[in-house]
Amino acid sequence: MSDKNIVATSDAEIAVHWQEEDYFYPPPSFIHQANLVDETIGDRFSLDKFPEYYKEFAELLTWYKYWDEVLDTSDAPCWKWFRGGKLNASFNCIDRHLTENKNKTAIHFVPELEEERVLHVTYQELFVRVNEFAALLRDTAKLKRGDRVTIHMPMSAELPITMLACARLGIIHSVVFGGFSASACADRIVDSNSRVLITMDAYYRSGKLLDHKAVDDEACVLAEKEGQKVDTLLVWQRYPGRMSTKTSLVGGRDIVVNEELKNYYGARVKPVQMLAEEPLFLMYTSGTTGKPKGAQHGTGGYLAYVTAMSKYIQDIHPEDVYWCMADIGWITGHSFIVYGPLALGASTVIYEGVPTYPDAGRCWRIAQDLDVNIFHTAPTAIRALRKVGPDEPAKYNYHFKHMTTVGEPIEPEVWKWYHKVVGKGKAVIVDTYWQTETGGFLCASLPGMQPMKPGSTGPGVPGIHTIIFDENGNIIPRGSGKAGNICIQNPWPGCFQTIWGNRKRFVDTYFGMYNKNPSSKDWRDWPYLTGDAAMEAADGYIRILGRIDDVINVSGHRLGTKEIESAALTVPEIAEAAVVPVAHEIKGKEPELYVSLKPGFDPSPELQKKVADAVVTQIGKIARCKNVWIVPDMPKTRSGKIMRRVLGAISNRGDVGNVMTLANPEIVDQIKDMVS
């Protein structure tokens, strides 16, 4: 691919481009049992049959009332899927499996400490625990349909129990990644107007018991300062009967869930019949502005979509033991640890801790001990596992039939290790491309029908019709291998409904670029902008090149450059801040920060540390910067715009290009000297 084919973007520009590799084919043993082997699939899901083909997805669920209309476009581009239909997500993930499978394991919870017992929660136990907790939410916490509740919990069996109890009552959950800081949690409490926060006292990370409740005590204080009082903090106990931390309870606000549940022994709560278009949850994600946005997902469309994706792309059968090694605090965990697999009645594994704790064989021991046969993770974890224990998988007796990757491009070399060593050459691999906003997969190869191509995701999954535009808004011919902005031509049920409380931002960000008629009610006028650069090869496979906006993908997690820069600017000495992604062998990308000082202040290692710490305090450890460089000035255009592209090239030891048009070209060499 020549350079001029690359869309000029912050991330894509520095993306590592690799050679195209061979195809790999699914083994016959997989094809024989695959959920989807159907030569007519392309025809059945062709655009001329849109939107009716999505009925097939909705029919995987149990409805109280069928829908009146598959797609209601009257409020374009806020699509309403299965309008008029009624269902409950908790019922679909639990109750409907009880008749045949109540004694089957729904959740295997694996604590990080190996000496602790693995918890096997059957569907019947899940039913009981979700009902009792739902009663507590309703009667103690006084929550009802449509209320928002923020959940800041580590990986535990109690996290899906909490989510499903919310879903049972029609309460909109907003799960915040457990590793996020008090400040990041407070922002989300405020934006969603949550008066109830649900937490857990403590959890293990790399063998250390972390005092998690203390983080949420602080989150409550910060949220109140910003105008949202948390009147009830529900605290799950890691070890029932005794708090796992020294943190004391705040009278009148804190309730120990394990104690309070004793009042709800045997309680049963009827699932609320939700309209398909009513929201199920919010998931905050990073975008181009400083404030994270709450992606609002609907009940019927979302659940139908993730169930279909789990069935056809992840090939989950009810008898499978499936392990998605992601965190439930991200969309991957929502869709593919909780909702998708449980809607299909499979057994889903939840692992508390670090994949390489206490040693490089941990994951493979878990797979062996629980008979995991489907494994889902991200390239960053695969890279880490390969680095610390390239020969470990061979030592364990497990058999994966199917593996997936998600979140960032995977290098063919890493892909091949995943295939040969982790999959023992016998598992199919599906590289799934999607986003928080999209609810489920956009692109992937069909595991039983299409070959795998290392380094590429697949074509659009059934029902998704991709289109790639160039910078001028012209359609790039299919299969031309030219890079452009990848969009989706048609709406799909998994797509988020809006940004919580900010419809304008939703419309502008995702549909503004290519919509020519803002009053149109025709879905054809509203291609969805993913924000990624991509190219489609002659075989129809898509390769994702990276973000076209100000988003950095660190270990498969999205961080907004503005979020990091705003965090740096909370340090009073800092005048300007600019962050760029730097290639990292395990994480894919890592943020590196450049700051300049206000007059009268001098650079010092203490100040560098202060800025680095401010980023971690404001956002969390995942945003930790590789370096903080205090520079005399930022490279700027004559109109005063910071040239992040130049900083990105310096950080990645690349070519800075022609800098003579800058207002201060001399600064480039000064910064280079400092960084090299």
Cα 423 to Cα 413: distance, rounded to the nearest angstrom: 14
Minimum distance between the CB of residue 12 and ligand WTA, rounded to whole angstroms? 10
> Helix, strand, coil % (nearest 5) of the chain?
30, 25, 45
**Least distance from C-beta 571 to ligand WTA, angstroms?**
27
Task: Report the 10 Å Cβ neighbour count for 593.
Answer: 27
Tell me the backbone φ, ψ of residue 106, rounded to 5 degrees: -90, -45
- Cβ-based nearer residue to ligand WTA, 125 or 408: 408
Residue 163 or 230: which CB sits closer to ligand WTA? 163
With beta carbons less than 8 A apart as the criterion, state whether 458 and 430 touch: yes
Query: 3-class SS at 290?
Result: coil
Using CA atoms, how far residue 101 sits from 88, 95, 558, in Å, is 19, 10, 38
85 versus 648: smaller Cβ distance to ligand WTA = 648
Least distance (Å) between residue 556 CB and ligand WTA: 7
Q: Is the dihedral of CA 563, 568, 571, 577 positive or negative?
A: negative
Return all residues near 329 (Cβ < 8 A) that are at least 6 apart: 153, 175, 176, 177, 178, 179, 180
In the chain, the amino acid numbered 446 is L
In order of 147, 287, 385, 580, the CA distances from 589 in angstroms are 37, 17, 17, 9
| 364/506 with CB nearer ligand WTA | 506
Q: Which of residues 376 and 401 has its CB atom nearest to ligand WTA in the complex?
A: 376
- Beta-carbon count within 10 A of 534 CB: 25
CA atoms of 109 and 350, how far apart (whole Å): 5
Assigned token pair, 241: 């009967």
Structure tokens at 636: 């700027």
Q: How far is the CB of 407 from ligand WTA (least distance, A)?
A: 5
Nearer to ligand WTA, 274 or 486 (CB): 486
Interface contacts to ligand WTA, rule CB under 6 A: 285, 331-332, 406-409, 431-436, 457, 530-532, 544, 547, 553, 557-558
Tell me how far, at minimum, the Cβ of 670 lies from ligand WTA, in Å.
Answer: 33
Backbone angles phi, psi at 595, to 5 degrees: -135, 150
Q: Least Å distance between CB 558 and ligand WTA?
A: 4
- Beta carbon nearer to ligand WTA, 9 or 73: 9
Pairing status of strand 374-377 against strand 321-324: parallel
Residue 481 Cβ, how far from ligand WTA at the closest point, in Å?
A: 17
Using the minimum distance from each CB to ligand WTA, give the nearer residue, 439 or 462: 439
**Nearest-approach distance from CB 306 to ligand WTA, in angstroms:** 12
